[in-house]
Homo-oligomer: A and B are copies of this chain.
């Protein structure tokens, strides 16, 4: 193979993961699987090369450029794409985040699916940026939860990171989190922590969810590595943090925390604030595709 023989396939990053490719397939099946009756009837096979841009209509943090590009290329590999921003970048209203050049019909068929990915994932990144900024004056980090759109976890968690927050465990297999039901099933916090330490994969810390300061003390005594304070007030959290930090134990808080309350927990000294809203309730941001003059045209 010689040097010039470069790129097989321009899809990059997360969009190359088999699970993401399956999601893109589902999306194309559902929107394009029966063709585009309007374009076929009115325009025919529209192979005119056109230029278009995807533009942020409002200020936002962009995320999903790789996936959006992959959607365009799945529909037609001839489409040329140039990025005008990088994933995770905060862009002003009017910014062209992707510039496209390719057959008009293909760009129009892929447009909606590409935008649907982009506006959702950028919504997550944009909201994450707000949370990150809300606690930036403290040492706390805001993390996501497993309350993600089913099928989108790897994408939404990357959007969270791109927005400036951090990730909690990816799934049930990448973090030990002992809750009420586990404790009930094995008798005590102490026993639960002992079993976790004996049997769980050693690369994982042991986190214990506690509702009260009494439970906190039991968890600390049992040797938890992290305590998760569920639905405590910032004041209680501050008190709990002092006790936990005395034993070098990390403190996480959760329970309906929003942009208004996050700073109060952060200022209480906790290490980690988990917020389901980052992924389950981020509104879509406003992005649109604008067609430009046909490529090669006079003024182009």
A148 touches which of B108, B116, B174 (Cβ 8 Å): B116
A80 CA / B8 CA spacing, docked (Å): 10
A36 contact set on B, CB distance < 8 A: 172-173
Q: Is the interface of A mostly helix, strand, loop or mixed?
A: mixed
| Closest B residue by C-beta to A24 | B150
How far apart are A47's CB and chain B's nearest CB, in angstroms?
10
Interface stretch, picked from A129-137, A198-206, A259-267, is A198-206
Stretch in contact with the other chain, from A210-218, A235-243, A276-284: A276-284
Given A43-B182, A77-B8, A204-B204; A37-B175 close (CB under 8 Å): yes
| C-alpha gap A109/B96 in the complex (Å) | 32
How far is B201's CA from A252's CA once the two chains are assembled, in angstroms? 12
Given known A43-B186, A173-B37, A252-B202, contact A32–B10 (CB-CB < 8 A): no
Contact (Cβ within 8 A) B38 A177: yes
Contact with B along A266-297 (1 / 0, CB 8 A): 00000110001000110110000001000000
**Separation of A143 and B201 alpha carbons in the complex (Å):** 9
Could you tell me if A35 and B154 are in contact, using CB atoms closer than 8 angstroms?
Answer: yes
- The interface bits of chain A over 146-187 (1 if a CB of B lies within 8 angstroms of the residue's CB, else 0) are 111111111000100100001111111111111101100110
Q: Check if A104 is an interface residue, CB within 8 A of chain B.
A: yes
On chain B, the residues within 8 Å of A16 by CB distance are 74-76
CA distance A255 to B252 in the complex (A): 37
Q: Contact mask A77-107 → B, CB, 8 Å, 1/0?
A: 1101110000000000000000000001000
A120 beta carbon closer than 8 Å to chain B: yes
Chain B residue nearest in CB terms to A200 = B41
Contacts of A272 in B (CB 8 A): 202
Given the known inter-chain contacts A27-B151, A196-B41, A202-B205, please indicate yes or no for A34 contacting B172, CB distance below 8 A.
yes
Q: Which residues of B contact A8 (CB under 8 A)?
A: 5-10, 73, 77-78
A contact residues vs B (CB 8 Å cutoff): 1, 3-14, 16-19, 22-43, 45-46, 48, 73-78, 80-82, 104, 108-109, 112-113, 115-117, 119-120, 123, 141, 143, 146-154, 158, 161, 166-179, 181-182, 185-186, 192, 195-196, 198-205, 207, 225-226, 250, 252, 271-272, 276, 280-281, 283-284, 291
A18-B26, A203-B204 are known; give 15 further A-B pairs, CB within 8 A.
A3-B4, A8-B73, A19-B30, A22-B22, A23-B150, A29-B33, A30-B33, A30-B170, A37-B173, A42-B192, A116-B280, A151-B151, A169-B203, A181-B291, A202-B205
